[in-house]
Structure 1
Amino acid sequence: MATGGGGSGHEGGRSLKTKVRTAKKRSLSSTLWLERQLNDPFVAQARREGFRSRAAYKLIEIAEKYHLFKLGQRIVDLGAAPGGWSQIAAKSVGSPDGKGRVVGIDLLDIDPIEGVEFKVMDFHDPEAPARLTAMLGGPADGVLSDMAANATGHRKTDHLRIVGLAELAADFARGILAPNGFFLAKVLHGGTEGELLASLKRDFATVRHLKPKASRAGSAELYVLATGFRGRPS
C-alpha cells in the first residue's frame, strides 16, 4: 500500500494514493467510499485540527464569506451528528464563554461538545419549535441543516428525498427564526427548483446557491443559503 503527503500525489511517476482492497464482507461502494475518505485532504485536516467531520470546512467557508455568525447568537443545528457544524457554530457565537447558545438535535446520541447542548429529538415533532425556542432562551438567529437522506443511486429519487428534507427544515426554520435570521441547508444540483426556492425567496431577502471548496468535486451537493428572514407569515 503506497501512501504520501501533499503535492501532486505522484513521486517518480508512481501514484501515492491509498488503495483499498475489497474485503469479503465489504461492498464495492463501501470500498470506494473508504478509499475516498483515506485520500481526502479535508478528512486528514479535520483529524489534525480536532473537528468531528470534514463538513466543518464547508461551514467555515460559507460563514466567513457571508458573515453568518456573530457573538451572542442563538443557533440550531438540525441533524447535528457527528457535530462538526455545531463545533464551528459554538466557537463562532461564543457559547463556550456564555455569549451565545447552540442547540444540536438528531435522532442519534452525540458525544458532548463544549458550548453545545445536544438533544435527541425529531424536528418533525410539532412541539419541537417551542421546545427549542425555550432551550435557546428566545428565537433563533440561524438554522443549519447538513442533513441528507440515504442515497439510492437513482438521481431523480435522491433529488426528491433531499429536497423533501430541505423543505421540512425550511418550514421548521420559519417557526423558530427571529426576523433577519438565516437558513442554510444541503440540497443537490438542480434540487432547489420550484416550490422550495419560491417559498424561500418569498420569506427571505436573499437566496443563494453555494458550492464550498470542501464539497467533493464529483458530488452533486450544493447548499442553499437564505438570509434576511422577513418574519413568520401571518
Structure 2
Amino acid sequence: MRGAGVGKVRVKTAKGRTAQSTRWLERQLNDPYVRKAKAEGWRSRAAFKLLELDEKFHFVKGSRAVIDLGVAPGGWAQVVRKLAPKAAVVGIDLLPTDAIAGVTLFEMDFMDDKAPDILCEALGQAPDLIISDMAANTVGHAQTDHLRTMGLVEAALFFAVENLAKGGTFVAKVFAGGTDGELLTMLKKHFTTIKHAKPPASRKGSVEWYVVAQGFKGRVEAKASADEEG
C-alpha cells in the first residue's frame, strides 16, 4: 500500500510534548494504514492485520461465535461483524470501548478470575473463534516486555483450550520468534495446524507476529493423543 501523492508530514516538537510522542505522532500521520482506516471507517489500523490474516488463513468468515480478547478500540470486532455478520461477538478489554452494533463489550481485566465465565455466559455458546490482540504495557526492557506479553498469550491459550468448540480457531499476537517452546507444545497437542505470520499491516520495525492455530481437537481427543504418546 502506498500513499501516492501524499508528502511526508513532519511534526514540530510542541511545548510539553516529548520527543518520543512527537515521533509517534509523526509516524501516525505518515502511516498509509492509519489514513486508510480513517477513510474506510475502521477504528484502528489493526483492523487490516486481521483482514490480512483472514485472507491468508480463512478463519473469520463462517464463524458463529467469537470472543475478542483485548478488543479496544474495536477494530478487530468491526472486522468480525463485517465478515461474519450473523456471528455472536463478545469482547473484553481493560480500556473502554465505544459501543459496536452486535457486539457485547466488557470493560474489565481478562486476567480477573471471573472473566472467563462472564465471557462464555454472555456468548451463550461455545466459541468457534477466539482472537487476541492483547499485549502487555511495555516497560522498555525487551526481555521483560516479551515475558509479560507471552504471559497473556498463555492465559488466552488456556482459556481457548477450556472453551473452544471442536474444530475452532485460536489467533493471538506473539513476539518475534513466535511462541515459546512450552506454548508451541501445547498448541500442537490441541490443534491440527499451527502457523506463524506477520501481516503486511504490522509495522516493519515491530516485533509482533501472530500465531494462527486451527482445527481444535477438543479436550477429550487431545488427552487421548497425549496418553498414546506417553
Give the TM-score of the pair, scaled to structure 1.
0.88
Distance 2:108 2:139 in 1: 25
Paired-residue identity, %: 54
Checking the alignment, whether the CA contact within 8 Å between 2:63 and 2:129 is kept in structure 1 is: no
Please say which of residues 49-58 and 185-194 is displaced more in the overlay.
185-194
Tell me how far apart the structure 1 counterparts of residues 68 and 50 of structure 2 sit (CA, whole Å): 12
Whichever residue aligns with residue 30 of structure 1, its letter is S
Q: Which residue does the alignment assign to 2:61? A: 70
The structure richer in strand per residue is: 1
Unaligned runs of 5+ in 1: 10-15
**Bigger shift: residues 147-156 or 133-142:** 147-156
1:12 maps to: none
1:183 aligned residue (162, 165, 170): 170
| Distance in 2, Cα, partners of 1:125 & 1:230 | 27
Letter matched to residue 189 of structure 1: A
1:50-89 matched pairs, under 5 angstroms: 50-71=41-62, 73-89=64-80
Deviating runs (4+, > 6 A) in structure 1? none
4, 8, 22: which is aligned to 1:7? 4
Give the secondary-structure state (helix, strand or coil) at the position aligned to 2:137: coil
State TM-score, norm by structure 2. Answer: 0.89
* CA-atom RMSD in angstroms: 1.7
5+ unaligned residues in a row in structure 2: which ranges? Answer: 224-230
Distance of 1:160 and 1:72 partners within structure 2: 31
> Post-superposition shift, 1:31?
1.2
Deviation at 1:123, TM superposition (A): 2.1
Question: 8 Å contact 1:75–1:142 — kept in the other structure?
Answer: yes
Give distance in 1, aligned partners of 2:207 and 2:123.
34
Tell me, yes or no, if structure 1 residue 32 matches structure 2 residue 23. Answer: yes
Whole-angstrom distance in 2 between the partners of 1:126 and 1:6:
45
Greater helix proportion = 2
CA positional deviation for 1:72? 5.4
| Structure 1 pair 160–72 and aligned structure 2 pair: CA distance change class (3 A) | closer
Contact 1:181 1:228 in 2 (8 A): yes
- The aligned length equals 220
Q: Deviations over 1:203-222 (max 9, x none)?
A: 11111111000000111111
Task: Judge conservation of contact 2:94–2:109 (CA < 8 Å) in 1.
Answer: yes
| Displacement of 1:169 | 1.0
Q: 1:64 to 1:191 in 2, by over 3 A?
A: closer
Shift of 1:191: 4.6
- 1:152 shift after superposition: 2.2
